[in-house]
Structure 1
């Protein structure tokens, strides 16, 4: 049996490379900084994401080692019917996660922790925390960060590097996050640092999964990795540091955007009453999938909606590939609050808003767009993982990995206890 005591690291730097999927590996792995980490570590293009493959759902699994039916982050957003996406609350706060996190366990073991724009960390007990929270409905962005993060830490970073920002626009936001991470590594030397970088995901949403824009985003990312590697070296902790670079989901190019709630509105299950929108059935859309919500005890709405979906499936309309009931959802680790779910065909995605057009043909409008949220078994949709450091095997490929394996692997690297996971430590 392998001796894992030799795998200990005093410092673990976890870099979430949002949307870094298997189709990006060949290009990204040829770049200087990622290839350097590969030469000193283990890697995989066979990391299976979580369903639905949404950023906040996946990142909650990354730090808990459990599936969404246990940690209870089931979407990026709580259910908020008829509220536009730009005005919706998100699952920003640590209290929303119903499971122990790896940063909680590290702190209990008297290790120092830091997080830079890591999802679902608002008000978390992290020593140096710059949380991913966004001002909505007239809120002040700076105040919201200070209120939910480590105030002096956030204020100092904002004063030093805030001039780099252009709102939440990329690539400025990831450049800012990287500067913050570099500063934190050199000044704080945390035992665990979590960093979320979003440039590639934004680029894919706006330009599709292939092309110059995507390659340029990966070039920028490699430069950021180089800055982080250099910071570790300058901090004098290179020998004791393990790097983890993780993709959270793939992307699929979209031709048709389907407004599912239009169908329910046509059936009278979504309606206006005294200038207020009401619902008996409602689709909460996840991009490549959607939850079907039915008003409690409204058996007629449930029957009508299910019959309609089965009719749609029989004729192949609206891009619905599958309807899942609770038997299916138990196997897929979907939370018990969800009774039904639909999955989109490749090339289709679901949009929650009610629109004049039920099916938008993006290709005919010459719009490039890709998204995620699909089943983890879609072709060419797996994620990449790299674990690198002087205590790790060299240039070794791994297979059959799951997102629930990440947190227990971090725990083993740090030499701390982290029981009750759905996953297991990766042999590195």
Structure 2
């Protein structure tokens, strides 16, 4: 389930508890000037750019649906544009980290959002933006919502690294975000948590944030409140859903209030694939197609839509099928560390705490708080044959060992080998571990099953301070702590294999092409298209 879906579920849980206890009161709403300032200053003569991010949209579902003539909107956009099925996501392949890479143009070593959950050595706190209801209950609803609603954009996202909203504002362009996880911009906004959230949390009645000219975030920020009725009630995850996103975008289109750049996030597909597993035939993709069609029709017709706007549709990550429970598909990390003092969810770190687990589905960070057990922890993990890789950094070098194996690979930046992204590396020992192909004569390095793995792994291991391991599970398995969400028989992501890393990209309405097919490179491409 995506972070947005999980936050919506958490809000709904709080509301249900308060309704039952009779604590619900009607809150005040805050009206903002979004609709006044959002409209492009360049008028109708300039094409607007609409970026649609569909959580867990996978290439095989698009290709199967188009081949069977079940996805007319996708088919139209592909026939009148460019289609790629191999754009490389960020790592870990979790929405909050991917969106940070997309909107800043940097990997986690630049934007500083390591994952959906990670440990802050500065605050001595396990940061969790909303991995699942059970884990949220154990960690505490208050810290999870505070981190997700206040700190994620307010302080955790590197303040020295500009987002696309901030850069476009400096260039005099108008921007908007609908249900985006990462939205930091230059304009002042007020998030207004519903009154029923005040009792169980320490969230203030209003939260001042910086965002694009237009900011919609479900019930927390609805610039159309009192103007248009949107699906944001108790049964609709408080507006954190596809229908809310599409209805808001349709309003802007029909009322000629589109900004120069509009980001639209569609979270619903992720939940279905987590439950059922990835498949070429996904009913949710047909519903997504109908929603895309409604956006095209809001311009009058699909043809008119591409005359007035550039449509860019992407997935954020793929998924790998998770084996059934009887196949021991869930790797219980806590059980592997019996005998060590591992931080319990919701507890405070003490002098006795030896390890912290931060699980991001098929990937995890494992922290050594004593700075003397990292080798021991790595040995425990790679002894399990369900583990794909264990990795850590030592000085300039990054070491990688395969689960169940005995050989090792190490690499560092700025060596003699150049990959297809013009990145330079030194690589020693067993290159087959990461399926690397090296042409020594040409000094070239190519990737196999793990796209851009050296840079993505480097980014994760340098994303935040601490003495820690990066751990990934083999396809078919996922990692877990005491109350982590698991998906036996369904689908999971987090790791850096092709199944979880390669996502679709559709570009319609412009002849421009991105230099490289990586999410981290899309920001520069978007800036070119918006300012052309």
Question: Once the 2 structures are TM-superposed, how far is the Cα of residue 170 of structure 1 from its aligned partner?
Answer: 10
> Residues 19 and 249 of structure 1 are in contact (CA less than 8 Å); yes or no, is this contact kept in structure 2?
yes
- Any idea what the Cα deviations from partners look like across 1:262-284, whole Å, max 9, x if unmatched? 333x1222268xx8675311121
Out of 507, 519, 524, the position equivalent to 1:387 is 507
Partner residue of 2:162?
Answer: 100
User: 1:194 Cα deviation (Å)?
Assistant: 0.3
1:201 aligns with 270
Alignment equivalent of 2:356, drawn from 253, 258, 282: 282
1:146 & 1:165 partners in 2: Cα distance?
A: 23
Give SS of 1:232's match.
coil
Aligned to 1:373: 494
TM norm structure 2: 0.63
Aligned equivalent of 1:22:
59
Question: Unaligned stretches of 5+ in structure 1?
Answer: 1-7, 417-428
Offset at 1:172?
Answer: 8.1
Q: Which has the higher contact order (CA 8 A, sep 6+)?
A: 1
Quote the residue 2:398 is aligned against. 328
1:253–1:370 CA contact under 8 A, matched in 2: yes
My pick for the range that moved more, 22-31 or 107-116, is 22-31
Distance 1:257 1:82, change over 3 A: farther
Per-residue Cα deviation, 1:49-82 (whole angstroms, up to 9, x for no partner): 1111110111111111111111111112453449
Q: Distance in 2 between matches of 1:33 and 1:140?
A: 44
Confirm whether residue 257 of structure 1 aligns to residue 330 of structure 2: yes
C-alpha contact (below 8 Å) 2:306/2:508 kept by paired residues: no
Q: Structure 1 residues 26, 113: CA separation in 2 closer, same or farther (over 3 Å shift)?
A: same
**Shift in alpha-carbon separation, 1:216–1:76, aligned structure 2, 3 A:** same
Aligned mates of 2:306, 2:207 — CA distance in 1: 31
C-alpha distance in structure 2 between counterparts of 1:20 and 1:72, whole Å:
25
Moved more, 172-181 or 232-241: 232-241
Structure 2 residue 259 is matched with structure 1 residue 190: yes
Q: What's the CA shift for 1:117?
A: 0.6
Cα deviation code 1:332-389 (max 9, x no counterpart): 222152542111111111123369xxx98x7xxxx532111111x3347410000101
Equivalent residue, structure 2, for 1:48? 88
Q: TM-score under structure 1 normalisation?
A: 0.77
Within 5 Å, give how 1:71-82 maps onto structure 2: 71-77=111-117, 79=119, 80-81=125-126
Alignment of 1:231-246 (within 5 A): 231-233=298-300, 238-246=306-314
- 1:267 — aligned with what? 339
Q: Secondary structure at the match of 1:14?
A: strand
1:33 correspondence with 2:84: no
| 1:294 alignment counterpart | 368
Alignment of 1:25-174 (within 5 A): 25-29=62-66, 30=69, 31-77=71-117, 79=119, 80-81=125-126, 84-85=135-136, 87=141, 88=144, 89-90=147-148, 92-98=152-158, 99-121=161-183, 124-125=185-186, 138-139=200-201, 154-159=221-226, 160-163=228-231, 165-169=233-237, 173-174=241-242
Q: Deviations over 1:377-404 (max 9, x none)?
A: 3347410000101x337xx9x9961112
Corresponding position of 1:352: 481
- Tell me the secondary structure at the aligned position of residue 229 of structure 2: helix
Aligned equivalent of 1:314: 383
Aligned length: 383
1:117–1:132 Cα contact (<8 Å) kept = no
Q: How far is the alpha carbon of 1:136 from its aligned partner? A: 9.3
Distance 1:176 1:143, change over 3 A: farther
Q: Residue 82 of structure 2 aligns to a residue in which SS?
A: strand
Q: Which residue of 1 aligns with 2:524?
A: 408
Q: Deviations over 1:62-114 (max 9, x none)?
A: 11111111111111245344983353233642543221111111111111111
Contact 1:209 1:370 in 2 (8 A): yes
Superposition deviation, residue 138 in structure 1:
2.6
State the superposition RMSD in angstroms: 3.9
Q: Deviations over 1:300-337 (max 9, x none)?
A: 4x25xx32442442352xx2121101133864222152
Contact residue 53 and residue 265 of structure 2 kept, 8 A: yes
CA contact (8 A) 2:381 2:390 kept: no
In structure 2, do the counterparts of structure 1 residues 130 and 267 end up closer, same or farther at CA, with 3 Å as the change threshold? same
Deviations 1:208-252 (Å, cap 9, x if unpaired)?
21386xx22111101110111122347977423101101110111
